[in-house]
Chain A
């Protein structure tokens, strides 16, 4: 029995590229990874939004209304629903004049227990040191 920890680091803003969405969809795919592994083995994904990537966490995005596409905040809610740890860099958020009040912080409406954590970069850096592999998006 073993666990491989993947750290997904999202640095790019939403909708300018596919990267943030791919980070989220790949991370969510950890939910079905067991079908390829031996019993007891696991792959986990934690996601950190830093730099321009913090903009992905803005709440009430309207991508569905305007483009008919699932918005990034909805993907974040799905990630919370499947118990993925999500960290947002506090300092980078402040650089955009944003606060926790501007972010999607939970997915209570779907029954998710997890919440988005706004933390200093030093804490994200510490968490990433615990990962086996880092994937930058």
Chain B
């Protein structure tokens, strides 16, 4: 089995890039691969807890928690999150926060790196 590192810089609301990244993570984990999901820039919005599941907006907290329980590692850029006021208190349980070098380190032994852009 392989290791997939996915970086996503798009916000939770505004495009379906994060939805795609999470669905791709789910498919890879289902096949037995290891997945590191990194969110940076506006993508750090994914880390906020208590997302209310309106039908008109993406809400990924529930599938994300299920994936974390299955072994998904998901990490937010700490500086990007703090710059947006997404501090530790509003971060969902299990969501890691690190500096950007964590993402680069994750690519070191990744079989594939998929970078999914921002806005």
Task: Categorize the interface residue count of chain A.
Answer: 20 to 34
A133 to B115, alpha carbons, bound, how many Å? 10
Interface pair A33/B105, CB less than 8 Å apart: yes
Kindly state the separation between the CA atoms of A36 and B115 in the bound complex, as whole angstroms.
20
A binding-site residues for B, Cβ under 8 Å: 2, 4, 6, 17-19, 22, 25-26, 29-33, 35-37, 41, 43, 45, 132-137
Which residues does chain A contribute within 8 Å of B105, judged by CB atoms? Answer: 33, 35-37, 43
List residues of chain B with CB under 8 Å of any chain A CB.
7, 9, 40-42, 99-105, 107-110, 112-113, 115, 117-119
B101: chain A residues within 8 A (beta carbon): 29-33, 35-36
Q: Which residues on the B side are within 8 Å of A134 (C-beta)? A: 115
Residues of A within 8 A of B102 (CB): 36
Q: For the complex of A and B, list the 6 residue pairs with the smallest distance between their C-beta atoms, beginning with the closest.
A: A36-B105, A29-B100, A133-B113, A135-B115, A29-B101, A33-B101
Q: How far is the CA of A109 from the CA of B80 in the complex (A)?
A: 28
- Are B107 and A6 within 8 A (Cβ)? yes
Contacts of A45 in B (CB 8 A): 104
Task: Please indicate the chain A residues that have their CB under 8 angstroms from the CB of B119 in the complex.
Answer: 17-18
Report how far A22 CA is from B77 CA in the complex, Å. 11
Knowing that A2-B108, A22-B40 are A-B contacts, what are 7 other residue pairs whose CB atoms are under 8 Å apart, sorted by A's residue number? A6-B104, A26-B104, A30-B104, A33-B105, A37-B108, A43-B105, A136-B115
- Contact indicator B108/A22 (Cβ below 8 Å): no
Contacts of B99 in A (CB 8 A): 29, 32
A61 to B7, CA, bound (A): 29
